[in-house]
Amino acid sequence: MGNFKHYQSELVTLYIDDAIKRMKKLEKESVDMIFADPPYYLSNNGITVKSGKMVSVNKAEWDVSKGVLEDFKFHKKWIKAAHRLLKPNGTLWISGTYHSIYLCGHALQENGYKILNDIAWFKPNGAPNISCRYFTASHETLLWSAKSPNSKHTFNYESMKYNRWEEDVFKKEAKQMRSVWCIPTPGPSEKKSGKHPTQKPLALLERVILASTQEGDTVLDPFNGSGTTGIAALKLGRKYVGIDNKTEYLDITVKRIQDIIK
Ligand SMILES: C[S@@+](CC[C@H](N)C(=O)[O-])C[C@H]1O[C@@H](n2cnc3c(N)ncnc32)[C@H](O)[C@@H]1O
């Protein structure tokens, strides 16, 4: 397909392209919400445990840090490009760990966004720490930001009021949803269409989209990966634009889409 389009349907467009270049080409103020799961740059040759075996923490070549200043430049560029794409009341979600999230937070503040929440996504099934010299890393952070302090952002308060999906201690007491979300990492049933090294759980994206968009809204993910954001958007009746520079990940996304529309 021409124009860098890898897949196109009535509700979904997938681009095979560099995220920043493509975002600069898309129409200004055309997107209601952006969910971005950029490289965390944490592939530093460390060791972790998976299914009882010692394995490298390295995810992929795109996840290797180029040094803090280069990583910061990259985050600043895509966060600026995202700002241009958002409608005036649009919001941006960014996921990350300490390797990346403070750089992203700084870039958000430099670009005029208003940070609305920092969500701690607690992973109850996170991998153990085998060195026994640190606490076991078991959460990621999601920064949720409005385009500007004047934005009238969407927050579906009623839908988020009860922790319908929570399996944790907050379940009984919470009326308003708290900023700590307990959601396991995706199991094999979410990986039937192929494996991506950093796939997000569908439940996480469903919550993000339900909280911050309306039916029919356009959601964009500049680091599409296996397309979890797109699958959640489609299931919830939102339009979706995904960008990734790796064909194999977009192919997984197309399979996942075909799986839910058949
Ligand atoms: C952390 S993963 C996203 C995973 C995704 N959230 C999921 O659930 O599968 C980041 C993705 O960004 C892509 N990527 C990295 N740098 C990119 C760039 N400059 N332009 C486009 N895609 C990029 C990688 O190929 C990878 O699939």
How much of the chain is in helix, strand and coil states, percent to nearest 5? 30, 25, 45
Tell me the CATH number at 192.
3.40.50.150
Domain count, the chain: 1
Instruction: Examine residue 224 and state whether it is found in any structural domain, yes or no.
Output: no
Secondary structure string (H, E, C) spanning 117-130: EEEEEECCCCCCCC
Instruction: Examine residue 112 and state whether it is found in any structural domain, yes or no.
Output: yes
Does residue 261 surpass a pLDDT of 90?
Answer: no
Instruction: Examine residue 260 and state whether it is found in any structural domain, yes or no.
Output: no
71 in contact with ligand 1, CB cutoff 6 A: no
Lowest mean pLDDT among 55-59, 168-172, 205-209, 238-242: 168-172
> What 3-state class would DSSP assign to 63?
helix
Query: Residue with structure tokens 């075996």?
Result: 53
Q: What is the largest CA-CA distance in the chain?
A: 53
Tokens of 260: 């839910």
CA of 52 to the centre of ligand 1 (A): 27
Q: What is the pLDDT of residue 148?
A: 98
Instruction: Examine residue 13 and state whether it is found in any structural domain, yes or no.
Output: no
Instruction: Examine residue 245 and state whether it is found in any structural domain, yes or no.
Output: no
Instruction: Examine residue 7 and state whether it is found in any structural domain, yes or no.
Output: no
- Give the model confidence (pLDDT) of 143-200 as tens digits: 999 999 999 999 999 888 755 555 554 555 557 888 999 999 999 999 999 998 999 9
- Tell me the C-alpha to C-alpha distance, in Å, between residue 65 and each of 21, 23, 83, 100, 137: 20, 22, 24, 10, 19
Q: Are 209 and 33 in contact, with CB atoms under 8 Å apart?
A: yes
User: How many angstroms separate the CA atoms of 220 and 205, rounded?
Assistant: 12
Does residue 56 surpass a pLDDT of 80?
Answer: no
DSSP-derived secondary structure letter, 134: S
The model carries a pTM of 0.93
Neighbour count for residue 261 (Cβ, 10 Å): 10
CA of 244 to the centre of ligand 1 (A): 6
244 in contact with ligand 1, CB cutoff 6 A: yes
- Give the model confidence (pLDDT) of 115-132 as tens digits: 999 999 999 998 888 888
Side chain identity, residue 188: P
Report the nearest atom of ligand 1 relative to the CA of 225.
27
CA neighbor of 113 nearest in space, from 146, 87, 85, 79: 146
User: How many angstroms separate the CA atoms of 147 and 34, rounded?
Assistant: 10
Tokens of 212: 């911050």
Q: What percent of the chain has pLDDT over 90?
A: 74
Q: What is the pLDDT of residue 173?
A: 55
Q: What is the pLDDT of residue 98?
A: 95
CA of 231 to the centre of ligand 1 (A): 15
63 — pLDDT class (breaks 50, 70, 90): confident
Q: What is the pLDDT of residue 128?
A: 86
Lowest mean pLDDT among 27-31, 69-73, 154-158: 154-158
Q: Which domain holds residue 76?
A: 29-215
Q: What percent of the chain has pLDDT over 70?
A: 90
Strands (E), 17-165: 31-36, 47-50, 53-56, 86-96, 114-122, 139-146
Interval 92-115 mean pLDDT: 97
Q: Which of 64, 220, 245 to mutate to test the pocket of ligand 1 (most atoms within 8 A of CB)?
A: 245
Instruction: Examine residue 247 and state whether it is found in any structural domain, yes or no.
Output: no
Instruction: Examine residue 258 and state whether it is found in any structural domain, yes or no.
Output: no
Report the nearest atom of ligand 1 relative to the CA of 228.
8
